[in-house]
Every structure is written in structure tokens, then in C-alpha cells.
A and B are shown apart, each in its own frame.
Chain A
Amino acid sequence: MSRSLKVAVRAVAVMLSAMFARSPAAADELAERAAAILQARCLECHEGAQAEGGLSLATREALLKGGDSGPAVVPGDAEASLLVEYISGTDPRMPQEGEPLGSTETEAIRSWVAAGAPWPEGRELSTRLQYDYRWWSLRPLTLPEPPAVESAWIRTPIDAFILARLNERGLVPSPEADRRTLIRRLYFDLAGLPPTPEEVAAFVADADPRAYDALVDRLLASPHYGERWGRHWLDVAHYGDTHGYDKDKVRPNSWPYRDYVIRALNEDRPYARFVQEQIAGDVFYPGTADGVIATGFLVAGPFDYVGQIEVAEGTLQKAITRNLDRDDVVATTLGAFNSMTVHCARCHDHKFDPITQQDYYGLQAVFAGIDRADRPYGGRLGQPSGVVFAAASDFTPEGAFTPTKGKPRAVRVLKRGNEKDPGDEALPRACGYLPHLAGRFDDLPPDDEAARRAALAHWIVDRRNPLTWRSIVNRVWQHHFGRGIVDTPNDFGRMGALPTHPELLDWLASTFRDGGQSLKKLHRLICTSAVYRQSSAGVTASEALDADNRLLWRMNRRRLDAECVRDAVLAVAGKLDPTPGGPPFRTFGFKDDHSPHYNYDQYDPDDPATHRRSVYRMIVRSVPDPFMTTFDCADSSAVVPKRNETVTPLQALALMNNPFMLRMAEHFAARVEPAGPSSAQRLAAAWRLACGRDPSAEELAPLAAYADKHGLPAACRVIFNLNEFVFVD
């Protein structure tokens, strides 16, 4: 049943029950109605041993026994019942959260009490859902056989899975795109840059049947591959170069982690190692520089500098700051590697997925020995050395920010997520959502924070953890096609989307897990498929059946993301500096202060340091680069598994008028000026650089006339604003 249908059915049910409540009240109807109200509005706080005010409303016995203020219900006497008193009146004391009960609801409770508070024998209300451990994403990974469909269109097993679904729906796959389209698509997809006209010409003219595969291999071998795909991972890690919040201080040593991600992808490290390094590289690979640097993942998010450094130990504010700080680590880690929303269990057991508060605080306990701080790395023979902002347990104390020296801080289960209401101590553990893989850590040495992280990393990369493998192949698929097989890349739970091609997802995940865990192999497999090579052109008949193209009867046309826009402008203008790595460049004027100033009006677009790829720019959390933000760049304060892809008037203004764009249009003009004496020759060259093809006569004529009248730079500015420049077919 669809979600909206369920809602509708529930609404009808509520209406019906309201109608029946007005009819002569049978005892069981009164009981049902009261139970529904108690369950919906009261039980969240008043259930079980940890109930607020010592009052549980889950059973009849508990109602009669009552809480700190006495019995909740006196059967038969509504006026004497505290429950009725608390929910009645113009300013009722209960419920504390949300709207007061409506008069129908209040009256239903009153009538139920007056009728003697009837209650079905042995009934126990519960807000805890019956968790479904057979949910698709929690089931063991399988290796389905590719469907037996015969077609000359099929190039890879992927295509068989796709074609089978298309056939079912009476859809026809699209023909292969032309070579100019394919090379531009592959360049932006794998390297994040446009191909040069020479590369396009060579590929178009290449008669070798393996030319396409060779191009894919060449791009995957290019250092630009890591820069492009590393950025996707940094969105999930919510990487930034400042702390965020107020006094948004520069974090000068975060960039080694950014470079690690790019390096690890370019070296095609097996995925399990990539995971282990980022959670506990210092434990798994002691003595290696990357073992320390990679843990920058855990601390890549915002840091409440004032709350951590200035607020005294032992205060409530400190407890709040710590709780939220660890919440960020837990949510980021499990979201990134398992696509589960464990953070929903901070205040209560997860309402939809099998994640208890015990699980959640157990995960907090895993990270209870680390903080976000600078940490030295490397220095051994042949190793690079330096300082990285990473997971640290031993560092020079600053203000009220003291290291744990490896002994984890005690983490308590917080009732309703409230720091003022700590419960039992939480033991470090992973989640219990996998029926085939226990989430408990047995025999952990006490007070050894490193062992806890190592245990979690082990659990995540266990081949029996199906989420890990489904999650990563889905991310890769998403960036190739614009939408994942599961459209909610960080939520494989019940509130997330269902996979459009569950068998394909499992086939990819199993193949990936058991075939060396090579991301490059996965890219190659996808990029060489027929489904990837399709044209993106619309087909009326197919649109009628699947307007959203969920079944991939064509390729998706994509708007360039923020980094690709900026990098393509630099590349086309002839200004791109491909130097990799190192400290970030600034696209703003900087002045340190109580809170540092980040002034983007002071950016000089001719500063050569800023002509490097956008992945190397300095990301300021409190004052993000407005140009990039306008193009839906990821918010470095939040985990962004999927960016928006909007088209807005502010984007038009940015491309038309931003000083960077205008200066680059001038460089672009200077670059194409030698192409010939006429505007037409120069602009044909410019068009080839920007769009990867020759302009038609109809396209060239008005542009050349424009240049003759208003100058070549102004015409190059127009080219930067073309739909064709910012979209990839």
C-alpha cells in the first residue's frame, strides 16, 4: 500500500471511530478509542520503567497504580481522575509536547473513565513498533542471475537487469548517443572537466572498436578522477576548512584528509580498507601516515569551538555540546557506510527501523574516547609527515577542552535525548538491525577507545553486513546516472525509497564485494554498459509510461554541479592550474578577528592560486562561497548524500555578472583570438572549447555579429551562459 493511501485509510478510520464514539458506547469501543489516544499522545513519555513522573499508561495496572502524583485513573469517577484533570481545561498541563487534546479526544477519555475504564484483558500498549528485520536492505546480500533476455543492445550484465524491467513495462531502451556526446559525458562524469577539442576530434575519428573502453580507462587513470569522485565522498563526510558556528575559526590542518580521499580513490584502495582507515586507520594500519590522516573523516563536520573550548567541564552546557558532537560523528559514520538513520534514535527508539536508544548510545560510546583536534602523522622512513585535524585522544589541551588520553568518557543513555536525564551507562556496540550479524562487541578490553572503533569498523566491513556493500554501489550508481537505484542514498530504512532494481543492486553489491572491492572496476562496468551509453533525448511514448525515467529508458541530462561549473569555466578560459593537493586556496578576503571575516567581495579572480580545481578551495562553513552555493554546492555543515539540481534567476545573475565569470570571459576571448582574424573563426573555436562541437551556421552568425558590435569578451560571456555549457546530455 502506498504511503498516501495508508494515510488516507488511517484518516477514514479515525473519522469512523469518531462517529462510533458518539453512538451508544460499547465498552470495547470506548477502550479502543482511549487506547488510541493514550498511544498517540501520552505513551511517548509515559511508558515503561523510564516513564516521566513515574507514570506509565501502558497497562491498566499501571494506570491504577499511577505515578508520583498518585493513581491516574479512578474507574467510574472521571472528576476524581488525575488523567482527566491534566488533559482538561483551557491551558491543560498535558500533553507537554504539541497541541492540547481536542475536545472530542478529551471527551473520549472522560467517557471511558466514567464507564469504569474498561480494558481488554492483558493488553499492553506500546509505542515500540514491531520492527521488521526482513526489510529489504537488512536481508543478506544475494547474487541474482542476470535475467535471460536476448538483445543485441546488451553489453554487460547490468543491461540485462535494466532491459528486463523495461520489457516488463513495454519500454524500449534508447539508442547509443553520438561520440561527441559520449566523450563530454564521460569527461564530466569521471574527471569533472570538459574534453579539449583535440580530444573530442581524436575520439570521434578513432576507428578502433575499443576506443570507448580505452577512453574510460584513460579517464579512470587520470588524477582528475580522484578529484571528481573524492568531492562526492566529501559531501557525505561534510568536509569543511573551518569549525562553523560562531567564531568560525579556520581549521588549517583539515586538508590532508581531503587529499587522502582523493589519493585513496586514485589508488583504488579496496573499499574495506577505505572504510577501516577512516574509522580506525590508526588501529588497523599503525605507523602509516594515512592511518592517522584518514580518521579526519570522523571529525570532518562542524566543531562548536565556544562550547568545547570556553564552556567549563561539568556544566550542563558542556554535556549538551559533547552529546551533539558525538551525535554528528555517529550519524555521519553510520549514514555514510550503512545508509541508516541511527541519529533518529537519540531521543527515542527509532520509530521505523530496528535501532534502539541502547544501540544509538552504544555507538556514541564507540567514539567516546576521541575528540576533534590536530594530530601529528607520519615521519617514519619514507613517510610524509605533518599535522592533520583528525580523531584525537591525546593533544595539547586548549581552554576547557581536555583530551581523554585514550580512556573513553562515560556515555549514558539519555532519556528522551535530554542531557538532564541520564540513564544507565551505554556499552559500546554496533547496531542490532542485522539478523545475521550480531551488533554486540564481546570481550572488548575496558577503557580502550581504539579497540571500540576497530570493532565497529570490523562490523561494518564484515561481508555479512549487506548495507555496507549496497550503500557504496548505490552511491556510485547515483553519481553516474543522477539518481541512485535507491533514491535516498543515506536512508535504506523504511522511510527511505525502495530500490527500482533490487536484483541489480544486489548483483552489483555482491560482485563488488567479492571482486576485489575496486571502485574503478565498478565505474568501468557501469560506464561501458549500454544503459550508460544511451542518448538522453526524450521519447514521447516512453515519457507517457515513465516520465521520470526511473527505469532508465534513456540517459539523464544533468546540470553541472557547482565545482564543474567553476572548473569548466577555468578550463575553457585556458586558466585551469591542474596542480593537485595541498593547503586550500581562498576565494575571499580574510581578516582574523573575534570571529574571522570572510569577504567574498574582495576576491581577485586573477589571483593565480585560485585557478586550481574547486575541490581545493577553502570551504568556510559560516560564510559559504555565494557563487558556489547558488549552484547547489553541498552545505559543509550537513551531510549531503544528494545535491539539489535547481535552475534559478540567481544562477543567471551569477553567470552573467559575477566578477570571476567576467574576468574569465576576457581570458577566454584572449585564448581564442589567435584562431583567426574574423569573429566567426574565433567564436567557432570558443564554441568547440565550451561545448565540444562545431557551432552550426545559424548559431555562429548571431554570436559573431554580436562580437563584431560589442567585442569578443562579451560574446565569450554569452557562451558561458549557454544552456549547452551548463548541461551535459
Chain B
Amino acid sequence: MPSLPNTRRRPTRSDAPPPYHARRDFLWSFGGGLGGVALASLLHNDGLLAASAPAGWRRSVVVHHPPRAARVVQLFMSGAASQCDLFDYKPALEQQHGLKFDPGEAVELFQSSPDKVMRSPFAWRRHGQCGKWLSEPVAPLGACVDDIAFIHSMASKSNVHGPATFMQATGFILPGFPGAGAWVSYGLGSMNDDLPAFVVLPDPRGFAPNGPKNWASGFLPAEHQGTMIQPNSSRPIADLFPPDGYVTPGGERDAVAVLAELNRRHALAREGDSRLEARIRSYELAARMQLSAPAVLDLRREPEHILRMYGLDRDNTITAPTGEINTAQEIEYFGRNCLTARRLLEQGVRFVQVWSGADNGFPRRNWDSHEDVQRDHGPLGRALGVGAAALIIDLKQRGMLDDTIVLWTTEFGRMPCNQGAAGRDHNPFVFTNWLAGGGVKGGVTYGESDEWSYKPLDRSQPTYCYDVHATLLHLLGIDHERLTYRHDGIDRRLTDVHGRVLREILA
């Protein structure tokens, strides 16, 4: 197992564990010590770790050309993050503020009728050598814009959250299709024996629309589903350990030994069935996950300056949501997931999906700013700026940005006109995505929106998730037209029958 890059603990933590850890399961707090450590010694004694080298997590199988990247971290803003309040600067909104919004055609909105052009409530400033305009909340990303390729001509095929979220997550507006991470897991498999290839970090407050179906394996084998990790839960990974006190360390060690012996006896009498051997091995792999996962999730192993970078310098605890949406808490939630994502990537997880925003909740805890852009996009945007910038800078300083793709997305955009006093309705016609790292050209913009960011400037050339997914797979060494799975009569692809590799943003 590769050693962790930094295991230095914060000195204040060793003598007085914070309440968060005290609440946690004994096993989780102490690095899987119970089953894990005991198992490790057992497995070593039996020589099983060595024997299990070609592991049950699937290995690399599909590479069509030399890859530029090996890993992906997808940041998914749930609720529809506003392009014209974050990344897509539109002076026309300032100039025409308060005037009737009239793009010269009938505008079909989700909840409201088009009213007046509305300027962004945020100040904008240029950043980096490329001079990219960013709004005030996401200004921390200014330090990274020269590593980022922005796409301002994204379009969706639905203006309803559920189908549109499916589209960005799975490539289809219908349920039942595998998430992008499941496809990558299916195509490339795992890079380690300790953790699944596809890991999902939901917003701690709950799921996005469609829930875990966004990262399901669909028709692909179940091993490719996103494994959900909730770092702030008392049990970050379901069923990783039995409840407290269920078995003693010795009991767990002996149980695994007895089970292995009985299963081996059973398999010996049924020679030639590789599934029986695979199942015996699956318990060894489970044990490795027990060992490794708690260590990866233990942020106390991070030095002070790294924690500070991710905005986790106040106190290394998760606080319960308070009534008002507020910047400090948003930074803590998103920052924790970003840092956890980096640690997972470092341990060889292939695809990490980080969610910002939960479907439920009034007061609102997502990007669906129908009522008040400033109220929601302010705190959420600042958390995004801090967390995403930290992630990119951190990956870069570890030399990992070269082969890690950071993909920022949301299900659609928001209208340049007002809804009510200070909100914006859904805009499926145009929104923003951006990518960084892993073979992506930095400091560029591909695809423009029109003067309001109502539709793509070239209406005949919208960019779809198909193109982004095709590009993602291309960078991973996969031809998106050739990564297929036969299901119900169709050779299914992540990109359906579409997709163009966006060569304009390749380094």
C-alpha cells in the first residue's frame, strides 16, 4: 500500500479529540484498528495479500490511445448554478438592467414569464494572465484561471432538474443509465486494491435530484456503481464495519479465518468455478478496504496549512446546519469534500464526484436561486471558489494536476432576466462548464454565449455534455464511440450517438 503523503497530526488533536470524532464509531476513529489491523496481520501471515495481487476490482482494460489523464474529479453544482453570476461576465446585463428582456423571440421559462434584464448582484474582476472575468464569490479561483478551460456554450435538453441532472451525470435525460464515473470504472477499472474505482461525496445535507440514481451503475455490473462516502456521518461508508461492540478484534479475525477455511473446502469440491474463488478473494479485498478507507478519510492527518487552504482552519469539526445559509458553513462543507476527494485520488480512486447542494430544504441549500441569487450564490459561490481553488492548487503542488481532470458542472444555467425581485429562472439554453488539469489547455474559453448569456452566440453550435464526456474519455485514453455495453438491443455509450472531442481545449 502506498504510504500517505503526510501523517502528521495536528498537535491539539492528539490529547483532546473533538466531539465529532468522539461521536464517531470506534473503528472509524482509529483507522479501522479493530478488524482491519488484525486482518492485515492475518492476511500477511497467510500470504494472502501477496496472492490476491490480481484483485477483484476490475483492472485496466480499455485504452484506445495514450492517455493524458488517469483520474477525474467532478464538481457537480446541484440546482443549476448561474453562469452570469459566476464565470460568464456579461456587461450587457449592467447596461440593460431593468429594461424589458427581449431576445427577439418567444421565451419559454420553467416557472415564470420573462421580465426585465437583471444584472448580477456581484462585482466582477479580471484574473490571471488570461484576464478571465470572475465574480466576487468565486474570486479565489482567480489563482487558477490560467489552468482552466471554460465552456460558455453548454446546453441541456431539459429544463427540469431531474432529467437535466441525469443528463449531466449519465448522458441521458431518462433514468436507468450508468453515471460517467461508472463508465470510467467499467472502462479503466481501479488503480488500487483498497478502494472502489468510483467514489461519490454527496452534499452532507442530502442528495441532489434523482438521489443515488445519478451515480448508479445502470445496466453495467454493480461493482461500477459509485460508492457513497459521507465523511461527516458516523458511518462514512455503509456496512464497512459491524456496529460497535458486535465482535471483538479477535472474533473478527477468527471469523474471517474460519469463513475462508470453510469456503475453500466448498470450492475445492467444486473445481473450475472461478466465482467461488472470486468470492473468497472478495473478503480479502473487503478487509483491505477496512484498513485503508478510514485512514484516507481521517483529515487529522493533514497539516495545518493544508486544512487552512481548504477553509477548514476554524475547527476540524462539522457543525449542524444553522437556519441561515452562511459562508463559513458552506466553505466547511464543500472544503471537506474537496480535501477528501484529493486524498481519495491520491490513493488511486479513479473517479471522484463531489456534490454541492441538496435537493431539499427551505431555506434553500442549493444553487436553484429562483428567489434570491445573492443569498444563495454568495455563500455557495464563495465555498466553491475556496474549495475548488484549494483542490486545483493542492493537486498541482503534488504534481497530480498533470494527470487529474477537474470538471466543474451543473445541470443547466439561469436566465439573464429576473424572476421575482432578485431571483432567476432555469436556463437550459446556455450554461457554463469548466475543466482543468489532465491534458486540458489552461487560460482559454471555448464557446461563447450571446450578449445576455441567454443562448449560445452561435445557436447552431451548442456544446452538450456529450462533447464534454467525449473529451473526458479522450483524455483518459478512451475513444467514446468504442466504449460500449450491449443492453436491450443497443450498444450503449456514455455519449449516446453524439459527442465531439473538444480539441480546442486540449493542451
Q: Chain A: which residue is nearest B108 at the CB level? A: A315
Please judge, given known A-B contacts A601-B235, A649-B289, A650-B196, whether A706 and B359 are in contact too, CB under 8 Å: no
Q: Is B158 an interface residue (CB 8 A)?
A: yes
Q: Is B17 an interface residue (CB 8 A)?
A: no
Q: How far is the CA of A662 from the CA of B158 in the complex (A)?
A: 44
Indicate with 1 or 0, residue by residue over A598-637, a CB within 8 angstroms of chain B CB atoms.
Answer: 1011000000000000000000011110110111100101
Segment 630-668 of A: residues with Cβ below 8 Å from B: 630-632, 635, 637-641, 644, 646-654, 656-659, 662
Cross-chain contact of A649 among B110, B212, B282 (Cβ < 8 A): B282
Whether B258 and A622, one on each chain, are in contact in the complex, defined by CB atoms closer than 8 angstroms, is: no
Cross-chain contact of B222 among A538, A630, A639 (Cβ < 8 A): A630
Q: How far is the CA of A728 from the CA of B56 in the complex (A)?
A: 22
CB contacts (< 8 Å) of A543 on chain B: these are 272
**B280 shortest CB reach to chain A, Å:** 7
Whether A559 and B259, one on each chain, are in contact in the complex, defined by CB atoms closer than 8 angstroms, is: no
Q: Is A448 an interface residue (CB 8 A)?
A: no
- Which of B176, B206, B266, B282 counts the most chain A CB atoms within 10 A? B176
Stretch with Cβ within 8 A of A (4 or more), from B43-51, B93-101, B492-500: B492-500
Whether B160 and A495, one on each chain, are in contact in the complex, defined by CB atoms closer than 8 angstroms, is: no
Q: Is B118 an interface residue (CB 8 A)?
A: no
Q: How far is the CA of A288 from the CA of B398 in the complex (A)?
A: 70
Q: How far is the CA of A651 from the CA of B268 in the complex (A)?
A: 22
Q: How far is the CA of A635 from the CA of B166 in the complex (A)?
A: 15
Interface residues in A, total, Cβ within 8 A: 98
Q: Is A145 an interface residue (CB 8 A)?
A: no
Cross-chain contact of A306 among B57, B161, B176, B500 (Cβ < 8 A): B161
Q: Is A66 an interface residue (CB 8 A)?
A: no
Q: Is B174 an interface residue (CB 8 A)?
A: yes
Q: Is A98 an interface residue (CB 8 A)?
A: yes
Q: Is A710 an interface residue (CB 8 A)?
A: yes
- Which of B259, B272, B279, B489 counts the most chain A CB atoms within 10 A? B489
- Which of B213, B227, B240 counts the most chain A CB atoms within 10 A? B213
Q: Chain B: which residue is nearest A691 at the CB level? A: B266
Whether B246 and A341, one on each chain, are in contact in the complex, defined by CB atoms closer than 8 angstroms, is: no
Q: How far is the CA of A99 from the CA of B286 in the complex (A)?
A: 42
Indicate with 1 or 0, residue by residue over B370-401, a CB within 8 angstroms of chain A CB atoms.
Answer: 00000000000000000000000000000000
Q: Which 5 A-B pairs have the closest CB atoms?
A: A246-B209, A341-B489, A638-B176, A245-B162, A246-B162
Whether A595 and B212, one on each chain, are in contact in the complex, defined by CB atoms closer than 8 angstroms, is: no
Q: Chain B: which residue is nearest A654 at the CB level? A: B239
Stretch with Cβ within 8 A of A (4 or more), from B139-147, B247-255, B322-330: B247-255
Q: Is B8 an interface residue (CB 8 A)?
A: no
Q: How far is the CA of A594 from the CA of B359 in the complex (A)?
A: 8
Q: Is A344 an interface residue (CB 8 A)?
A: yes
Whether A706 and B254, one on each chain, are in contact in the complex, defined by CB atoms closer than 8 angstroms, is: yes
Whether A496 and B176, one on each chain, are in contact in the complex, defined by CB atoms closer than 8 angstroms, is: no
Cross-chain contact of A650 among B158, B227, B491 (Cβ < 8 A): B227
CB contacts (< 8 Å) of A651 on chain B: these are 282
Whether A495 and B486, one on each chain, are in contact in the complex, defined by CB atoms closer than 8 angstroms, is: yes
Please judge, given known A-B contacts A635-B218, A641-B488, A727-B276, whether A706 and B239 are in contact too, CB under 8 Å: no
Q: Is B306 an interface residue (CB 8 A)?
A: no
A-B contact pairs, 27 of them (CB 8 A): A96-B460, A99-B500, A246-B165, A311-B160, A335-B488, A341-B488, A491-B488, A594-B360, A601-B235, A622-B213, A623-B213, A624-B212, A624-B213, A626-B212, A632-B221, A635-B176, A637-B213, A647-B275, A648-B222, A649-B282, A649-B286, A649-B289, A652-B283, A657-B239, A706-B258, A718-B255, A718-B262
CB contacts (< 8 Å) of A217 on chain B: these are none
Q: How far is the CA of A336 from the CA of B395 in the complex (A)?
A: 49
Whether B211 and A306, one on each chain, are in contact in the complex, defined by CB atoms closer than 8 angstroms, is: no
Whether A623 and B207, one on each chain, are in contact in the complex, defined by CB atoms closer than 8 angstroms, is: yes
Stretch with Cβ within 8 A of B (4 or more), from A19-27, A435-443, A522-530, A697-705: A697-705
CB contacts (< 8 Å) of B57 on chain A: these are 649
Q: Is A97 an interface residue (CB 8 A)?
A: yes
- Which of B222, B271, B500 counts the most chain A CB atoms within 10 A? B222
Segment 472-511 of A: residues with Cβ below 8 Å from B: 488, 490-491, 493, 495-496
Q: Is A452 an interface residue (CB 8 A)?
A: no
Please judge, given known A-B contacts A495-B489, A639-B488, whether A538 and B271 are in contact too, CB under 8 Å: yes
Q: How far is the CA of A521 from the CA of B287 in the complex (A)?
A: 47
Q: Is B4 an interface residue (CB 8 A)?
A: no
Q: How far is the CA of A654 from the CA of B279 in the complex (A)?
A: 13
Whether B359 and A595, one on each chain, are in contact in the complex, defined by CB atoms closer than 8 angstroms, is: yes
Whether A621 and B175, one on each chain, are in contact in the complex, defined by CB atoms closer than 8 angstroms, is: yes
Footprint of A on B, CB under 8 Å? Answer: 56-57, 108, 110-111, 157-163, 165-166, 173-177, 196, 206-207, 209-213, 216, 218-219, 221-223, 225, 227, 235, 238-243, 246-248, 250-251, 254-255, 258-259, 261-263, 265-267, 270-273, 275-276, 278-280, 282-283, 285-286, 289-290, 359-362, 460, 481, 486, 488-491, 497-501
**B312 shortest CB reach to chain A, Å:** 25
Whether B222 and A644, one on each chain, are in contact in the complex, defined by CB atoms closer than 8 angstroms, is: yes
Q: How far is the CA of A316 from the CA of B156 in the complex (A)?
A: 13
**A225 shortest CB reach to chain B, Å:** 27
Q: Is A244 an interface residue (CB 8 A)?
A: yes
CB contacts (< 8 Å) of A536 on chain B: these are 270
Whether A490 and B362, one on each chain, are in contact in the complex, defined by CB atoms closer than 8 angstroms, is: no
Whether A714 and B251, one on each chain, are in contact in the complex, defined by CB atoms closer than 8 angstroms, is: yes
CB contacts (< 8 Å) of A244 on chain B: these are 162, 175, 210, 213
CB contacts (< 8 Å) of B276 on chain A: these are 723, 727
Please judge, given known A-B contacts A97-B498, A648-B282, A649-B57, whether A723 and B266 are in contact too, CB under 8 Å: yes
**A54 shortest CB reach to chain B, Å:** 16
- Which of B159, B239, B265 counts the most chain A CB atoms within 10 A? B239
Q: How far is the CA of A117 from the CA of B30 in the complex (A)?
A: 76
Q: Chain B: which residue is nearest A331 at the CB level? A: B488
Q: Chain A: which residue is nearest B209 at the CB level? A: A246
Q: Chain A: which residue is nearest B193 at the CB level? A: A649
Cross-chain contact of A662 among B196, B242, B248 (Cβ < 8 A): B242
Q: Is A376 an interface residue (CB 8 A)?
A: no
Segment 546-585 of A: residues with Cβ below 8 Å from B: 557, 559
Whether B500 and A98, one on each chain, are in contact in the complex, defined by CB atoms closer than 8 angstroms, is: yes
User: Could you list 19 further interchain pairs (A-B, Cβ under 8 angstroms) beyond the known A490-B489, A702-B261?
Assistant: A245-B163, A245-B175, A245-B209, A247-B162, A302-B175, A307-B158, A344-B489, A495-B490, A538-B273, A559-B275, A597-B206, A638-B176, A640-B219, A651-B282, A652-B282, A656-B283, A703-B258, A718-B255, A722-B266
Q: Chain A: which residue is nearest B497 at the CB level? A: A97
Q: Is A678 an interface residue (CB 8 A)?
A: no
Whether B223 and A491, one on each chain, are in contact in the complex, defined by CB atoms closer than 8 angstroms, is: no
Indicate with 1 or 0, residue by residue over A319-335, a CB within 8 angstroms of chain B CB atoms.
Answer: 01100100010000001
**B53 shortest CB reach to chain A, Å:** 15
Whether A649 and B285, one on each chain, are in contact in the complex, defined by CB atoms closer than 8 angstroms, is: yes
Q: Chain A: which residue is nearest B216 at the CB level? A: A635
Whether B262 and A703, one on each chain, are in contact in the complex, defined by CB atoms closer than 8 angstroms, is: yes
Q: Chain B: which residue is nearest A727 at the CB level? A: B276
Cross-chain contact of A595 among B173, B259, B360 (Cβ < 8 A): B360
Q: Is A709 an interface residue (CB 8 A)?
A: yes
Q: Chain A: which residue is nearest B283 at the CB level? A: A652
Q: How far is the CA of A272 from the CA of B246 in the complex (A)?
A: 53
CB contacts (< 8 Å) of B175 on chain A: these are 244-245, 302, 621, 637-638
**A417 shortest CB reach to chain B, Å:** 10
Whether B272 and A538, one on each chain, are in contact in the complex, defined by CB atoms closer than 8 angstroms, is: yes
CB contacts (< 8 Å) of A656 on chain B: these are 239, 242, 283, 286
Whether B265 and A304, one on each chain, are in contact in the complex, defined by CB atoms closer than 8 angstroms, is: no
Q: Is A248 an interface residue (CB 8 A)?
A: yes
Q: Is A593 an interface residue (CB 8 A)?
A: yes
**B338 shortest CB reach to chain A, Å:** 24
Cross-chain contact of A699 among B227, B262, B498 (Cβ < 8 A): B262
Please judge, given known A-B contacts A98-B499, A638-B219, A718-B262, whether A344 and B490 are in contact too, CB under 8 Å: yes
Q: How far is the CA of A365 from the CA of B257 in the complex (A)?
A: 62
Please judge, given known A-B contacts A246-B162, A324-B173, A702-B258, whether A724 and B266 are in contact too, CB under 8 Å: yes
Q: How far is the CA of A79 from the CA of B111 in the complex (A)?
A: 50
CB contacts (< 8 Å) of A247 on chain B: these are 162, 209, 359
